Every structure is written in structure tokens, then in C-alpha cells.
Amino acid sequence: MVDIFEDAPSLVINYLSYMQNIKGKSEKTIKEYYYDLRTFFRFIKCKRKLAQFSDFENVSISDVDLDLIKSITMDDIYDYMFYVAKDRKNSSHTRARKSSCIKSFFLFLTTKAKVLDVDPTKELESPKIPKTLPKYLTLEESMRLLEAVDGEFKVRDYAIITLFLNCGLRLSELVGINLSSIKDDRLYIKGKGNKERTIYLNEACQNAINEYLKERPHEGVKDKDALFLSKRKSRITTKMVQVIVKKALARANLDTTKYSTHKLRHTAATLMYQYGDVDVRTLQKILGHEQLTTTQIYTHVSDTQIKDATSKNPLANFKKKD
């Protein structure tokens, strides 16, 4: 931890270590926390005239100490949120994440490290995030995408897209699948925060995997337990999977700027909810969401469902007597 974030002060190191080792946050999340706190303390130093805004990206935070942290007020935090919105053009999603990180850091200092008596972020509200429906492929578009898979590694690529569309996997989860993770019709996944969950493979997934295993290389394989291998016989990378999906989308005449690997996860969740009679809590377990509210974005209804519901109104066929 110290080697990775060498310019971070000890209190930030302690916080990041706590979030990773106790709260189980992923390495990627820990890096985001670090970058968010670094930006925050650079701003505080510049505001206190301890550094120059003109040299913002080079400001070191290694000298941030408890006295400086104790001097931070709610006004400072509001000024910072205004700065990232106006000067750095951060989106509402990014500002919400930065706000959450700062709140979490100060909560750690007051309740865990116990070096602060007062938490200046206690009344801090998170920026409102506009509610938008997730983008997803329709059932017909999903079938078109599967039909469009082609090329030298089409059996492998078909299995990859089949798993995305049927299981709702994250990109990192798909790349991380091991042969030893598959037991009959079960796939054991290690998701966010190293939390494990079980995915049940339907017939389409089992068939796609079995067909791929028939031609998966065995000799000269660098990662023998990796399910999906690259041309060089090493575990396939996230970037390569993104390329595979983009090519298939293009072949299916689907918008490659609108859809991505993550949109295939959205598609799987939406199709399961719309066609599979899956309740939201079951969907939460399948997707590996920590919060139910995250899953609820998939419970939107289609125009067809709205029309169908209206047509089933008991007054739908009522006619006034002459």
C-alpha cells in the first residue's frame, strides 16, 4: 500500500488499508479513493495558499497532517464540490463518488482512527444523480448479436457473448473465470469486493462452453486454469473482450457507441426481469449487487408491458349503451 501510494500521508494510507483489508474493497476501488482524496487535499492546500492552482496536478499531499485535516470545514468541502463541478467539469456521478469518498474518510477518522472529535461532513448531502434507464438490447437484437458472431475464434467469442447475455456478468468477472470455477451447471464467481456468488448455467451457456472446450488449446497454455484464452494462449484481457463485443455489435448492425460489454450485463438483467418472471431480490443475487436500490434500475417496464397492462384493464372493452 505504501509503495503504491508513496505521496499519500499516513492517515490516508491507514484509511485505504482499512477499506481494502477490512471492508473488502477491490484494488480498482481503492485507487479511485486515493485519486479522489488526492484531488481533495490538493484543493485544500491550494485554497490555504500552501500550493498554487496553476500547478494543481503536481501538488504533493505527502505533507498533509492532522492539523490541516482538523482545520477543514463544511465550507471548504462545499467550495471543493463547486470547484470539481465548475472547474473540472465533473459529472454528477463523479461528484457523488467524490462526496461519498470524503464522507467515508472523515467517518473513518472519527469512528475508527478516533483522531477527530467532529466530523465536518456529517451534514454533507450527495449531489443528485439524474435517473436514467439502463441501455439494453431487445430480445430480437440479442439474438441478432449472437447470430452475428464470426471469425477465427467464433466458438470462443460466441461463448463469451452467450455468458454475458445469459448470466449478467461484469467484464472483470468474465475474464476471471477459471476452469476450476465451473462445476456441472454452476459457475462460481468472485465479484466486487472479492465476494463470491454462484451463477447457474442454463442450457445455452453449458452448450457454448462445452463447444469451446473442444477446441480450447491445451499445449503451451500460460494460464492453464483460465477458461477464455487469447491467441497467445494466455488469459484473455478485458480490452480484448471489449474488441470482440464491439466487432460482433458492428456485424449485427447495432450501435457500437451505444452498446458495450456492460450494456450486455444490462441486457441480461432486463431480459430476465421482463421474460423470466424473476423478482428483484433474486435478480440482486444473480447480479451480485450489494444494495437492492442498484438492482431496481432494471425493473423498468417496456412500452409493450405498459400497453398490455392497459389492455387488461377490466374497463378496456366497455362501451356506453346508446
Tell me which residues are annotated as active site.
170, 192, 262, 265, 289, 298
What is the 3-state secondary structure of the chain? CCCCCCCCCHHHHHHHHHHHHCCCCCHHHHHHHHHHHHHHHHHHHHHCCCCCHHHHHHCCCCCCCHHHHHCCCHHHHHHHHHHHHHCCCCCHHHHHHHHHHHHHHHHHHHHCCCCCCCCCCCCCCCCCCCCCCCCCCCHHHHHHHHHHCCCCCHHHHHHHHHHHHHHCCCHHHHHCCEHHHEECCEEEEECHHHCEEEEECCHHHHHHHHHHHHHCCCCCCCCCCECCECCCCCECCHHHHHHHHHHHHHHCCCCCCCCCHHHHHHHHHHHHHHHCCCCHHHHHHHHCCCCHHHHHHHHCCCHHHHHHHHHCCCCCCCCCCC
